[in-house]
């Protein structure tokens, strides 16, 4: 039996860069592609662009100095010759590649100055008896300082010395027609040459399917364990008394839609339980999430608990503050406002009211979750447009409302961590960390319930995988009386017609937004552009009252402008994308998005959602400049053809992959390495079923999975 390879500290550090922290992680460090060194190609038969292995004798070797020092050798076999070229080389290579030596070279062939050549091929000395490889040669994700050869050796050693138990119960494995785990590893690390290379590269081979299934299953398990673990935690049970909630409903000028009633009853039921709610409320722009949030807040307040309502921008937070203020004033509930731009003294007053418990409802930006702010008795935290927040902010949110300064342990693993496998010596310490050196005692102090809201709909597969630890409520119906927004694509060349449109709309008492082009490179340019656009439009429309709102404005100024627009004092509002989230001015029925080709799909959808909120027919003009990139063209087509946020998100997922859609989750979340939630939906569905089954009937197997796949990742699940 071979013994575990010794690994130097430098190599350990390099392995860590690749996400390999345990010896067992080497097993799951899978090839990105393969090289075929199982046969030799006659030199005359190789073609530019292909990767080939050739063998022959060096018939010439020389060093040239122009344009830079280069070693050039000629390799000849019975069929022909080609050149080997090296820009950086060592004396050992010059020696290896001396005239008359017999060499085997692997590399990509290309057409060079002298004819066919390989640049930096992999070369070794051979004789007539040197055997060929018997399996395809894996190429692994690598990093500077860690060669393919070194990685291959480490992985081969790991395959030899580590047990690779199949945690999937045999019966399930057979029923699902999946390949065994260790067989799959062997195939992927050492594939036989008769395996179709395409099935490996496209990851359709049964061995790949098995590994992807395992990855998805581990993800499902960890989400579920995390979800289940919440029922061991304590939150105040906030039963609906009706004192405020019923009163608010009675006073409202409209009736809740069926969808709003349904989601509120889901939330209300969760709040009444003595365990923290973590619910995501999804609803397209304009579907009426705010009133649902207000009802949730009142249910907490009815129980004498505090509520923090946080929005990602000052404009949006202020709007919530005003709106909830209106709604709640008749009930005698007065919210307190807190944002980063408040004067020191006012902030003080606000934070004192929060700390003493004098105020039960605090509305503001992420300033609410800064260190200095402490709540007397926080029962519910509401986060609007949660995808706009960063991971750090979500962590801070999580920590609020704890009555003691302890770190709550998270029981990622069901029961105890599995025994360390023999030979896992370099992992012992980390594994111990992963499975908490944290205190094992239950966290008993209460924590707040959480309601997260988002208008960025999550495609089904994404929700099923990355958000499976949250409960999700969906508002799938818009309030009545809305007429769908008409979208028009207009090229820059017809800008004048657009001006006329704006003028006509405003002259008949409607209001309009003009969204400035997005300038990614610099905030200064963005600001400059907003100022110029405002100036230009003021000149174009001397008869209209034109306002400007942008991100760099003082928040009190922003709020003043928004209020003026809301009351109709301003007719045309020039705005940067600060109005993207949540702004609600029902009388605005026209929106022009300048340089729409620069914006992303989610952004366009959000922006367009600012109109179509009243009874009037609304229009959104996407003004674009040619030439359009392929991606921009596709995006504009999608936004033109679709009004449903879910359909748009689905296409966005296809265009961009899950990373960006995940928003705040993306930076911390354990991303899938092998599976693709779009193309592997069948595996995802299987994994969901099996996850339930394992947790119910095979807890040992579930532990095995979590240990194998998640030992490095559990922290992320927490945010
Ligand atoms: P979003 O889901 O985008 O946050 P809002 O909560 O801002 O949507 O609601 C959009 C608009 O619809 C607001 O003016 C709100 O008062 C109004 N609204 C919400 N629910 C209803 C309803 N059931 N009937 C009529 N109007 C409603
Ligand atoms: Mg909103």
> Any idea which ligand is nearest the CA of 384?
2
pLDDT band at 442 (very low <50, low <70, confident <90, very high): very low
DSSP 442: P
Strand pairing partners for 56?
103
| Ligand 1 centroid to residue 257 C-alpha, Å | 10
Q: For the chain, how are helix, strand and coil distributed in percent, rounded to 5?
A: 45, 15, 40
Tokens standing for residue 119:
């640049």
What is the predicted pLDDT for the residue at 299? 98
pLDDT digits (tens, 9 = 90+) for 176-223: 999 999 999 999 999 887 887 778 888 999 999 999 999 999 988 988
260 lines ligand 1 (CB under 6 A): yes
645 lines ligand 1 (CB under 6 A): no
Tokens standing for residue 562:
């928004």
- In the predicted model, what is the mean pLDDT of residues 418-440? 34
> Any idea which ligand is nearest the CA of 582?
2
What is the predicted pLDDT for the residue at 572? 96
Which of 60, 56, 62, 96 minimizes the C-alpha distance to 76? Answer: 56
Which of 583, 486, 523 minimizes the C-alpha distance to 573? Answer: 583
Q: By alpha-carbon position, which residue is closest to atom 17 of ligand 1?
A: 288
What is the predicted pLDDT for the residue at 416? 29
Which of 128, 102, 108, 136 minimizes the C-alpha distance to 46? Answer: 108
What is the predicted pLDDT for the residue at 143? 87
Q: By alpha-carbon position, which residue is closest to atom 9 of ligand 1?
A: 288
457 lines ligand 1 (CB under 6 A): no
Q: Which helix (H) or strand (E) holds 354?
A: helix 344-356
Residue 404 pLDDT greater than 70, yes or no: no
Which of 200, 220, 212, 209 minimizes the C-alpha distance to 177? Answer: 209
| Ligand 1 centroid to residue 289 C-alpha, Å | 7
pTM (global) more than 0.95: no
Residue 510 has φ and ψ, to the nearest 5°, of: -85, 175
What is the predicted pLDDT for the residue at 105? 95
Q: By alpha-carbon position, which residue is closest to atom 16 of ligand 1?
A: 288
- What is the atom index within ligand 1 of the atom nearest the CA of 292? 6
Among all chains, which residue has been given the structure tokens 């020191």? 344
- What is the atom index within ligand 1 of the atom nearest the CA of 609? 3
Among all chains, which residue has been given the structure tokens 């029923």? 175
What does the alpha-carbon distance between residue 213 and residue 220 come to, in Å, rounded to a whole number? Answer: 10
Output 390 or 257, whichever has higher pLDDT: 257
612 lines ligand 1 (CB under 6 A): no
Q: By alpha-carbon position, which residue is closest to atom 27 of ligand 1?
A: 479
b/e for 678-687, b at 16 or more Cβ within 10 A? Answer: eebeebbebb
DSSP 24: G
Average pLDDT of the residues of the chain: 85
pLDDT band at 661 (very low <50, low <70, confident <90, very high): low
Q: By alpha-carbon position, which residue is closest to atom 4 of ligand 1?
A: 289
What does the alpha-carbon distance between residue 376 and residue 361 come to, in Å, rounded to a whole number? Answer: 11
* Domains of the chain: residue spans and CATH: 39-132 (2.40.50.140), 245-475 (3.40.50.300), 485-642 (3.40.50.300)
Q: By alpha-carbon position, which residue is closest to atom 10 of ligand 1?
A: 286
Q: By alpha-carbon position, which residue is closest to atom 5 of ligand 1?
A: 288
What is the predicted pLDDT for the residue at 437? 33
pLDDT digits (tens, 9 = 90+) for 34-77: 888 888 999 999 999 888 999 999 999 999 887 788 999 999 99
What does the alpha-carbon distance between residue 368 and residue 365 come to, in Å, rounded to a whole number? Answer: 6
> Any idea which ligand is nearest the CA of 610?
1
Output 666 or 157, whichever has higher pLDDT: 157
668 lines ligand 1 (CB under 6 A): no
pLDDT band at 174 (very low <50, low <70, confident <90, very high): very high
606 lines ligand 1 (CB under 6 A): no
Q: Rounded to a whole number, what is the distance in angstroms from the first to the last CA of the chain?
A: 44
Output 286 or 161, whichever has higher pLDDT: 161
276 lines ligand 1 (CB under 6 A): no
What does the alpha-carbon distance between residue 605 and residue 643 come to, in Å, rounded to a whole number? Answer: 8
């Amino acid at each position: 039996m071979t013994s575990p390879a010794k690994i130097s500290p430098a190599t350990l550090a390099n392995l860590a860069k690749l996400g390999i922290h345990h010896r067992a992680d080497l097993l799951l460090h899978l090839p990105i592609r393969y090289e075929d060194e199982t046969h030799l190609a006659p030199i005359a038969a190789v073609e530019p662009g292909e990767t080939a292995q050739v063998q022959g004798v060096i018939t010439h070797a020389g060093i040239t100095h122009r344009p830079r020092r280069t070693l050039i050798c000629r390799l000849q076999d019975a069929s022909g010759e080609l050149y080997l070229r090296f820009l950086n080389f060592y004396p050992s290579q010059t020696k290896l590649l001396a005239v008359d030596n017999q060499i085997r070279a692997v590399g990509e062939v290309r057409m060079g100055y002298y004819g066919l050549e390989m640049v930096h091929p992999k070369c070794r000395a051979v004789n007539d008896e040197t055997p060929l490889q018997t399996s395809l040669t894996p190429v692994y994700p690598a990093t500077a300082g860690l060669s393919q050869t070194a990685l291959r050796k480490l992985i081969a050693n790991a395959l030899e010395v580590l047990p690779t138990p199949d945690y999937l119960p045999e019966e399930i494995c057979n029923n699902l027609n999946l390949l065994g785990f260790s067989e799959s590893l062997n195939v992927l690390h050492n594939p036989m040459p008769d395996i179709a290379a395409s099935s490996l590269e496209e990851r359709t081979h049964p061995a790949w399917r098995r590994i992807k299934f395992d990855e998805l299953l581990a993800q499902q398990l960890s989400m579920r364990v995390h979800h289940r673990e919440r029922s061991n935690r304590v939150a105040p049970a906030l039963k609906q008394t009706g004192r405020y909630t019923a009163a608010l409903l009675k006073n409202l000028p409209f009736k809740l839609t069926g969808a709003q009633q349904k989601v509120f009853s889901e939330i209300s039921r969760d709040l009444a339980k003595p365990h923290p709610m973590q619910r995501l409320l999804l609803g397209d722009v304009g579907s009426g999430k705010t009133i649902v949030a207000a009802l949730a807040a009142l249910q907490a307040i009815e129980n004498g608990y505090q509520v923090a309502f946080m929005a990602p921008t000052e404009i949006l937070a202020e709007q919530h503050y005003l709106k909830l203020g209106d709604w709640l004033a008749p009930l005698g509930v007065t919210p307190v406002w807190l944002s980063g731009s408040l004067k020191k003294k006012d902030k003080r007053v606000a934070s004192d009211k929060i700390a003493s418990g004098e105020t039960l409802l605090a509305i503001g930006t992420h300033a609410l979750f800064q260190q200095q702010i402490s709540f007397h008795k926080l029962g519910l935290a509401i986060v609007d447009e949660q995808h706009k927040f960063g991971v750090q902010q979500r962590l801070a949110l999580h920590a609020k409302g704890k009555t003691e300064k302890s770190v709550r342990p998270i029981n990622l693993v069901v029961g105890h961590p599995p025994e360390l496998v023999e030979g896992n010596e370099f992992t012992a310490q980390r594994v111990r960390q992963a499975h908490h050196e944290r205190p094992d005692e239950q966290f008993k102090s209460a924590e707040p319930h959480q309601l997260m809201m988002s208008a960025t709909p999550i495609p089904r597969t994404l929700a099923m995988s990355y958000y499976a630890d949250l409960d999700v409520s969906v508002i799938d119906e818009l309030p009545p009386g809305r007429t769908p927004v008409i979208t028009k694509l207009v090229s820059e060349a017809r800008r004048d017609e657009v001006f006329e449109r704006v003028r006509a709309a405003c002259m008949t008492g409607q209001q309009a937004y003009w969204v400035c082009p997005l300038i990614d490179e610099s905030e200064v340019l963005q600001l400059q552009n907003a100022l110029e656009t405002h100036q230009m439009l003021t000149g174009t429309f001397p008869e209209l009252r034109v306002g400007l709102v942008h991100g760099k404005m003082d928040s009190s100024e922003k709020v003043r402008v928004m209020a003026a627009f809301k009351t109709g004092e301003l007719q045309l509002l020039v705005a940067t994308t600060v109005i993207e989230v949540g702004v609600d001015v029902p009388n605005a029925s026209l929106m022009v998005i300048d340089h729409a080709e620069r914006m992303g799909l989610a952004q366009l959808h959000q922006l367009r959602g600012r109109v179509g909120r009243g009874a009037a027919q609304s229009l959104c003009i996407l003004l674009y400049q040619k030439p359009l990139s392929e991606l921009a063209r596709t995006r504009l087509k999608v936004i033109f053809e679709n009004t449903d946020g879910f359909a748009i998100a689905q296409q966005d997922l296809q265009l961009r992959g899950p990373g960006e859609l995940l928003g705040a989750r993306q930076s911390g979340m354990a991303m899938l390495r092998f599976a693709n939630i779009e193309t592997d939906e069948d595996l995802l569905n299987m994994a969901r079923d099996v996850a339930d089954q394992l947790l119910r009937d095979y807890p040992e197997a579930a532990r095995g999975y979590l240990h194998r796949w998640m030992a490095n990742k559990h922290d992320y699940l927490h945010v």
